């Protein structure tokens, strides 16, 4: 497996986003299947595993910890705080964004316990709390580094301006944001800021929440609790238009002897040595397919064809609905 750098860590060029195993896309697989996939990823050379307090309201960290703790010295562990499940007076657990220092400290301690480890290698702020200055939140995260609870810091879904403010308080090792052929927002300013500051870029949803892998022909089949149901790109009208783009992607992939998912990941890898995609999956077969992207080489003509085919002008629909978009600090087209 090829290697890339995140702060002091050398990690596999393609990591694993663990969210799918517990959260967001309908009924998660049984725990034993999730553990099997995590261990298979490790055996295939994946050395970056990304989880969060939010995923399954703690269940994902528990799963990752249980499966991978015996192999702790073989991988870089990333998790996130500042957005977690909070039980209301009605007994229902809901997602809450909270960047107050006391919450960040509590989130980290809870994550350490669920993961069953003494230190988290890369600890992200999952979402910017618009009510709390980023300097206060990152200041609390820096305290966690000094206390030995985490080794390095990251931010998720923030703008270039917020990244710069945070980096002035404490070095930021990684910025994690959605980036793929059909989500180019980081190209507005975040990627450039990362390169100026020496911050690695971790790309989540690198195969477009499954779209760029071709695994979803009919959005009406999505589970009732699948988060894609609320995303404009997956509305029936927009998705029908976007499927026309997939046909072209499939043709280019076939010409290279690759799958659409591999082609999409190879495109990301070709954007720079500082980019680490973290696709997620519940399927060992899809995991093995994704990792094959490191063997796909793209020349300038293919890169140009892909950019012309799938870009902000050709994709129908935004990536989030209006309510969710208001919670996101990233630059938007």
Q: Which residue numbers are catalytic? A: 55
Structure token digits, residue 94:
């809901």
Q: Look at phi and psi of residue 91 and say left if phi exceeds 0, alpha if psi is from -120 to 50, else beta.
A: left
**Cα maximum dimension of the chain:** 58
Per the listing, tokens 């930021």 go with 172
- The encoded tokens of residue 120 equal 């988290």
CA distance linking residue 255 with residue 252, whole number of Å? 5
Residue 118: φ, ψ to 5°: -95, -20
Say if residues 179 and 268 touch (Cβ distance below 8 Å): yes
Helix H or strand E encompassing 36: helix 31-43
In this structure, the dihedral spanned by the alpha carbons of residues 243, 249, 253 and 254, taken in order and rounded to 10 degrees, is 60
**What number of other Cβ atoms are within 10 A of residue 73's Cβ?**
5
Place of tokens 């860590």: 9
Where do we find the tokens 């046909």? 247
**Rounded to an integer, what distance in angstroms lies between the CA atom of residue 262 and that of residue 62?**
30
């Amino acid at each position: 497996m090829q290697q890339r750098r995140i702060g002091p860590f050398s990690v596999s060029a393609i990591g694993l986003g663990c969210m799918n195993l517990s959260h967001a896309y309908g009924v998660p697989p049984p725990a034993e299947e999730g553990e099997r996939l995590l261990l298979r990823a490790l055996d295939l050379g994946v050395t970056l595993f990304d989880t969060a307090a939010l995923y399954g309201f703690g269940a994902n960290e528990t799963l990752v910890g249980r499966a991978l703790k015996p192999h702790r010295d073989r991988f870089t562990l990333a998790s996130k705080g500042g957005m977690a499940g909070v039980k209301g007076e009605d007994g229902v657990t809901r997602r809450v964004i909270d960047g107050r220092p006391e919450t960040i400290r509590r989130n980290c301690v809870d994550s350490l316990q669920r993961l069953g480890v003494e230190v988290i290698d890369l600890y992200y702020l999952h979402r910017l709390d618009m009510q709390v200055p980023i300097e206060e939140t990152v200041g609390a995260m820096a305290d966690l580094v000094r206390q030995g609870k985490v080794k390095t810091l990251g931010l998720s879904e923030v703008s270039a301006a917020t990244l710069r403010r945070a980096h002035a308080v404490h070095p930021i090792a990684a910025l994690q944001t959605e980036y793929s052929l059909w989500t180019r927002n980081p190209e507005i300013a975040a990627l450039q800021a990362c390169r100026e500051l020496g911050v690695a870029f971790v790309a989540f949803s690198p195969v477009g929440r499954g779209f760029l892998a071709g695994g979803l022909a009919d959005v009406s089949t999505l589970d009732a609790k699948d988060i894609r149901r609320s995303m404009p790109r997956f509305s029936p009208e927009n998705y029908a238009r976007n499927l026309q783009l997939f046909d072209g992607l499939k043709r280019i992939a076939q010409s290279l002897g690759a799958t659409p998912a591999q082609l999409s990941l190879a495109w990301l890898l070709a954007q720079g040595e500082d980019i680490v995609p973290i696709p997620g999956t519940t399927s060992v077969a899809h995991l093995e397919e994704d990792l094959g992207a490191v063997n796909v080489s793209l020349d300038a003509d293919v890169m140009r064809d892909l950019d012309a085919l799938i870009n902000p002008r050709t994709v129908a629909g935004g990536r989030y609905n209006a309510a969710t978009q208001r919670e996101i600090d990233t630059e938007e087209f």
